[in-house]
Amino acid sequence: MNPRPARTSRSPEGGLPEGEALRRDIAARHRVGKVWLLLFQASTLVGIIALTALLYNVLNQSFGLVAVQNQVEPEMLTIEGVPLQDLTKEQLIAILEDHVSKGVMRRLESEIPFASRSRENVYSLVQERVVSPEIVRSWLFVDSIFRRAEILAEAAEEYPNAKIQFRAWVNWDFIRNSQSSTPALAGVRTALLGSLWMIAITILIAFPLGLGAAIYLEEYASDNLLNRIIQTNISNLAGVPSIIYGMLGLAIFVRALEPLTSGALFAASDPTAANGRTILSAALTLALLVLPLIIINAQEAIRAVPRSLRQASYALGATKWQTTWHHVLPSALPGVLTGTILAMSRAIGETAPLVVVGASTFIALDPNGPFSKFTALPIQIYQWTARPQDQFRNIAGATIIVLLVLLLSLNASAVLLRNRYSRRM
């Protein structure tokens, strides 16, 4: 490629190096090669270190020692020796009445009457209002392990009444509880359900549309201007920043199509939502966002199906659609599914468009359909990370773990599904 001779050690006559000089020259070139190889390896290492640091950081935040101070010790609330967690609903309500002001009781009654509250709900109210454990301080995992003695000494001095205990911020309660303004009681249930609802609707919309577009472009479209525009357009759309889709969703789905997306058209609207900022709007936005990804992946899968398969089908008199449906699609399915799963994982982690479309900052009620207000796991991570207090960082870290586990299980199920289909063929 480069006709210039090596700039090192030429013989005095101007020719190429010989003998000892040549050996030295080659050794020098190999040394340079080794140094660069080290650099290339180092950059790979940096990538791996970054991934490790990221995971380390999340784990470091989501586990660790905490200092807990109870307003009322649960031992004080035992009735006839029965511990708090085993009391009946009526006893729990009585405890609430003893410790909480009348006004608060009335407010709770008007939110949801006590008669229709479940025992678990009343129990969590007692926990929240009466016991009201407050985590006054939290420490990082690594510190908790290696500086345990120091932390205990420090805590004993600063918070003499507090109990020091090891806390996994991501735990069963964290997944089961709904949102709360107290980090220790907050959970991701609403966010998790919101994410699942959203992803289900997104796939229901995007998968048929994406597959249909891919079939059209690969099997039906002739090479004319319109189809070339569609093809170019799809690859352009794949590069549009996700936040732009959010703005599209805000203007079209939330505002212009409000009667549809708020459910008013079907008389199904959620009175608390009362505008287009619903799961459906978010899912439609995400569907448009992942559509190009699904189309491009599906196109590749369809293109990989050998021509002979189609021709054999035509030769037996099958129509174009029969050929596509019975022969091309089954062979392309594993590839199409992989692409769809990839798109799903993309959609589930997407945050910016949801913020723009209008995710709720605080909802305590579970979403119960496409017309509910919504929040999602990435939204929770964003909102909790943006808070300055340490403990919100802890629960944001715990939410990240939930999100990553969800992504991982999605991908694993995709791989299993794909393997099953490809074996069958």
Partner 1 sequence: MSLRIRAATIRAGARDRDAGAAQIDLRRRPRRGEALIQGFLFFCGAVSILTTLGIVFVLGKESWLFFGSGEVSLLEFLGTTKWQPTIGQFGIWPLVNATLMTTALAMLVAIPLGLGVAIYLSEYASARVRSTLKPILEVLAGIPTVVYGYFALTFMTPLLRSIFGQNVVEIYNTASAGIVMGILILPLVSSMSEDALSAVPRSLREAAYAVGATKLETAVKVVVPAALSGIAAAFILAVSRAVGETMIVALAAGAGPAFTFNPFKAAETMTGHIVRISGGDLSYDSIDYNSIFAIGLMLFLITLSLNIISRSIVRRFREVYE
Binders in 250-279 for partner 1, by CB under 8 A: 250-252, 255
CB-CB contact of 204 with 289 (8 Å) = no
Give min distance, CB of 330 to partner 1, in A. Answer: 17
- By CB under 8 A, residue 292 contacts partner 1: yes
Q: Could you tell me which stretch among 45-53, 98-106, 129-137, 301-309 binds partner 1 (CB under 8 A)? A: 45-53
- Looking only at residues 304 through 363 of this chain, which bind partner 1 when binding is defined by CB under 8 A? 319-321, 345, 348-352, 355-356, 358
CB-CB contact of 283 with 354 (8 Å) = no
Give min distance, CB of 269 to partner 1, in A. Answer: 19
How many CB atoms within 10 Å of residue 335?
21
Give the residue from 295, 307, 289 showing the smallest Cα distance to 335. Answer: 295
- By CB under 8 A, residue 23 contacts partner 1: no
Taking the alpha carbons at both ends of the chain, their separation in whole angstroms is 47
Nearer to partner 1, 1 or 315 (CB): 1
Look up residue 78 and give its two tokens: 């035992």
Give min distance, CB of 8 to partner 1, in A. Answer: 12
- Looking only at residues 206 through 245 of this chain, which bind partner 1 when binding is defined by CB under 8 A? 208-213, 215-217, 220-221, 227, 229-230, 233-237, 239-245
Give min distance, CB of 250 to partner 1, in A. Answer: 7
Rounded to whole angstroms, how far apart are CA atoms 204 and 213?
A: 15
- Crossing angle of helices 329-349 and 390-424, in 10° steps, is 180
Q: Looking at 8, 9, 11, 41, which residue binds partner 1 (CB under 8 A)?
A: 41
Encoded amino acid at 284, one letter = L
Nearer to partner 1, 105 or 221 (CB): 221
- By CB under 8 A, residue 400 contacts partner 1: yes
CA distances from 188 to 80, 125, 142, 400 (A): 35, 17, 25, 11
Nearer to partner 1, 127 or 375 (CB): 375
Rounded to whole angstroms, how far apart are CA atoms 205 and 189?
A: 24
- Looking only at residues 52 through 111 of this chain, which bind partner 1 when binding is defined by CB under 8 A? 53-54, 57-58, 61
Rounded to whole angstroms, how far apart are CA atoms 351 and 58?
A: 18
CA distances from 131 to 72, 123, 125 (A): 5, 10, 9
Give min distance, CB of 206 to partner 1, in A. Answer: 10
Q: Looking at 162, 278, 397, 398, which residue binds partner 1 (CB under 8 A)?
A: 397
Give min distance, CB of 276 to partner 1, in A. Answer: 11
Give the residue from 384, 366, 382 showing the smallest Cα distance to 374. Answer: 366
The alpha helices in 304-389, defined as continuous H runs, are: 307-315, 320-323, 329-349, 352-357, 377-386
Nearer to partner 1, 121 or 319 (CB): 319
- Looking only at residues 132 through 161 of this chain, which bind partner 1 when binding is defined by CB under 8 A? none
Q: How many residues bind partner 1 (CB under 8 A)?
A: 86
